[in-house]
A and B are shown apart, each in its own frame.
Chain A
């Protein structure tokens, strides 16, 4: 079935995010205020907040993470949106991307002209074991739970299937981590503002200070293969293959395309959009590829008339390093089974054929679950407007793609953004 197009053009005219990291004493509402103020500063002609007509808010589990359900109206209140309608959107790690999509559809419907799409999560108040348990509620708790799966475990299993099919080695996963840390080191909002070799230097210095044996890793790969420095979490996923536990918020202002000029001369038009669902891992025929990504991407390409070769850069859902490799194949940037080699030979770097996760990705920027899909749009906003500073992709990019995944691949949302001026 050919996907239908929106009956009205929709554009993003502002985008902002809080810092991502661990922020004791700040709730999701506080972080959302930071993101909201950052978004307001990004709007070239300024924003009268009273023009915002509705809020769609991506959030996975504020109920469990901060003991606060029913989070949307409280968040709307925090940024002065009352009495406008506010709705929480939950789609696991794809909650943020889904909120952007719902905001887009709401504007395209003609019901609203100006809608705020946001995302929030506050994970660091809980001990790590509880965080693992809360995240695991996004798996199939009737079957994957009793099997003992965790989220690193589910992606570890996808990784073993991928390695077996295509001969990939853990070095490819390490290359993704090294690249995303390189990018995150030049993103002031990233949780880890450090390259892997900076982390190695810090560990060597700490060992020297404490009078311990100074580790003699020859390079980043040797560090990442060290069981003590980079312990296995769920084979073959090690600590540095996993995105961190994070707090953060992000929001973007979504408006009718015909009104975009009131806000900025450089809006991002949402020219591609797709969303798909899939079953639990054991219900899928193939574990080396994610059907929800392929389905969402094919919709986004079909409605935009674009193909993967047209895209200048992409923010993809690297909750685990294997997920980035699979995404670059399922989005069509590389053939099936070629993504791991592409990650190894630098094709996904900032100056590569298709820059992937210039923000640092979930891996280095951080992964406050519900905020992630919205923050991906924030990075594309900066890159396409030439505002990405030290991590700016060269060549005046005009087309950027976001790929937001839920669970182990049960949900996927893809958007393609275009700057026309």
Chain B
């Protein structure tokens, strides 16, 4: 049974990791915790539901939702965050703004789609395979594979491409980067686009797994993913993956041995313990103090 529960936890953890990547991407560049990310994830799931309902076929529909949600990410940055950056407002202003945006998106979703839970078609529903006593559904396997692939693509993008080089330059010193001819605002928008796309992938995959979609779905998932990102070391992509898996497995274990009521607090208990022992998270770099 423990094997099965660990596997359940790993699948859940992959879901958190997918969302956590979005937090890490934006934090890496802007040093800003983007609290609207949970709602963007819910938006991605609803967009996928909408396009799947239009009978475009599953993959074109998901592709459309990725682009849509990515554009939403850019929109958030351009309408709300870029003006704040231009005015050189305090970092806390941007933080509060993202919380506000989160509420706006969530309420818009409720207004358009209704607050009730809606059915989402099962993706990759090819049955179950048994490995020894373990029962693993194809949905779970596909979820893990796609998450890992996405993670790999993102890491390659950040570390091996030109735009990734520009992203890392902006991360280290935006001013110097812009002097070297990097369009910092474009890079930030691009990062928000990536964040939106990863949120939409997470939204489509997780909804396909649970087959449920509703406007509030991003709230708890977003918070736990944030905990996972901090746990792994916010700003670090492998950290997001490990953090997500840790949160997922510990949650599953808590539900097994302590009862379902303890599962939601588990992520945060672990987060606090890790932060006391290692303030920068498991994979976090020592913070560079910028004056």
Asked if A and B are interacting partners, one says no
Binding site for A on B (CB under 8 A): none
